[in-house]
Chain A
Amino acid sequence: MLSGIKQDFTFLAKVLIKPFYAENAGQIFTVVLVCFGLFPGFAMLKEAHYGIMIAICTSPLAMFASCLLWTAYAYKCFAFVLRELSLSQNECLYIIGLGKPFRNVFLLFIFQLVLFVPVLLYVFFTLFIGIGSGYHLQPFIIFIFLSALNLLISFIYSYQFRNPQEELKLPFGIPAFKRSWDLPFYLYPISHFIGKRKLMLFVTKVISFSLIWLGFYLAHNQDLDIRFVYITMVGSILAHSILVQHLRDFENKNMTWMLNIPLRLSFRFIGYLILFFFLILPEVFFIFKYAFNQISYAEVPNFLVLGIAGLSFLHSVLYIKDMNETKFMNYQIGFLLGLIMAIQFRIPILVISIALLSLAYLTYKRRYYLYE
Chain B
Amino acid sequence: MLQLTGYKKYYGTRLVLEIENYLFQEGLHWVKGENGSGKTTLFKSLAGIFPFQGKIALNACSIKEEPNKYRLQVNYAEAEPVFPPMVKGKDLVSLFEKYKEAFPGQSKEISEILDIKFLEEFFSSYSSGMGKKLSLLLAFLGQPKVILLDEPLVTLDVKSVNGMLELIALYRKKYNTSFLISSHQAFENGIIKPDYIHQVENLTICYQA
- The residues of A with any CB-CB pair to B shorter than 8 Å are 179, 182-183, 185, 188-189, 191-192, 194-196, 250, 253-257, 259-264, 369-372
Q: Quick check: is B49 within 8 A (CB to CB) of the other chain?
A: yes
In the assembled complex, how far is the CB of residue B8 from the closest CB belonging to chain A, in whole angstroms? Answer: 14
Q: When A264-B68, A372-B50, A372-B51 are in contact, do A257 and B83 touch as well, CB less than 8 Å? A: yes
Interface string of B70-94 (1 = CB under 8 A from A): 1110111010011111110011001
Q: When A260-B71, A264-B68 are in contact, do A369 and B51 touch as well, CB less than 8 Å? A: yes
What 5 A-B pairs have minimum CB-CB distances, sorted nearest first? A262-B71, A195-B86, A262-B68, A191-B86, A262-B72
Q: How far is the CA of A370 from the CA of B72 in the complex (A)?
A: 19
Interface string of B145-159 (1 = CB under 8 A from A): 000000000000000
Report yes or no: A260 in contact with B49, Cβ–Cβ below 8 A: yes
Report yes or no: A192 in contact with B51, Cβ–Cβ below 8 A: no
The CB with the most chain A CB atoms within 10 A, among B74, B78, B86, B91, is that of B86
In the assembled complex, how far is the CB of residue A348 from the closest CB belonging to chain B, in whole angstroms? Answer: 36
Nearest CB to that of B123 among chain A residues? A254
The number of inter-chain residue pairs (CB within 8 angstroms) is: 72
Interface string of B125-168 (1 = CB under 8 A from A): 00000000001001000000000000000000000000000000
14 contacts between A and B (CB under 8 A): A179-B86, A182-B90, A191-B86, A195-B86, A257-B81, A260-B48, A261-B71, A261-B100, A262-B71, A262-B72, A262-B100, A369-B48, A369-B64, A372-B51
Give chain A's interface secondary structure class. Answer: helix
Report yes or no: A195 in contact with B75, Cβ–Cβ below 8 A: no
- The residues of B with any CB-CB pair to A shorter than 8 Å are 47-51, 64, 67-72, 74-76, 78, 81-87, 90-91, 94-96, 99-100, 135, 138
The CB with the most chain B CB atoms within 10 A, among A185, A194, A195, is that of A185
Report yes or no: B47 in contact with A260, Cβ–Cβ below 8 A: yes
Q: How far is the CA of A35 from the CA of B51 in the complex (A)?
A: 43
Q: Which of B69, B91, B96, B138 contacts A182 (CB 8 A)?
A: B91
Report yes or no: A250 in contact with B84, Cβ–Cβ below 8 A: yes
Q: How far is the CA of A172 from the CA of B128 in the complex (A)?
A: 32
Nearest CB to that of A177 among chain B residues? B86
Known: A254-B82, A261-B96. 17 other contacts (CB 8 A): A182-B94, A188-B87, A191-B87, A192-B84, A195-B85, A195-B86, A256-B49, A257-B138, A260-B48, A260-B49, A261-B99, A262-B70, A262-B71, A263-B68, A264-B68, A369-B51, A369-B67
Q: How far is the CA of A371 from the CA of B78 in the complex (A)?
A: 18
Report yes or no: B50 in contact with A191, Cβ–Cβ below 8 A: no
Report yes or no: A188 in contact with B84, Cβ–Cβ below 8 A: yes
Q: How far is the CA of A314 from the CA of B188 in the complex (A)?
A: 50
Q: How far is the CA of A300 from the CA of B95 in the complex (A)?
A: 34
The CB with the most chain A CB atoms within 10 A, among B67, B84, B90, B99, is that of B84
Report yes or no: B86 in contact with A192, Cβ–Cβ below 8 A: yes
In the assembled complex, how far is the CB of residue B205 from the closest CB belonging to chain A, in whole angstroms? Answer: 20
Report yes or no: B72 in contact with A259, Cβ–Cβ below 8 A: no
Q: When A261-B96, A372-B51 are in contact, do A196 and B85 touch as well, CB less than 8 Å? A: yes
In the assembled complex, how far is the CB of residue B134 from the closest CB belonging to chain A, in whole angstroms? Answer: 11
In the assembled complex, how far is the CB of residue B201 from the closest CB belonging to chain A, in whole angstroms? Answer: 23
Q: How far is the CA of A263 from the CA of B68 in the complex (A)?
A: 6
By a CB distance below 8 angstroms, the chain B residues around A189 are 84
Q: How far is the CA of A250 from the CA of B86 in the complex (A)?
A: 12
Q: How far is the CA of A292 from the CA of B87 in the complex (A)?
A: 40
Q: When A260-B71, A369-B48, A372-B50 are in contact, do A254 and B95 touch as well, CB less than 8 Å? A: no
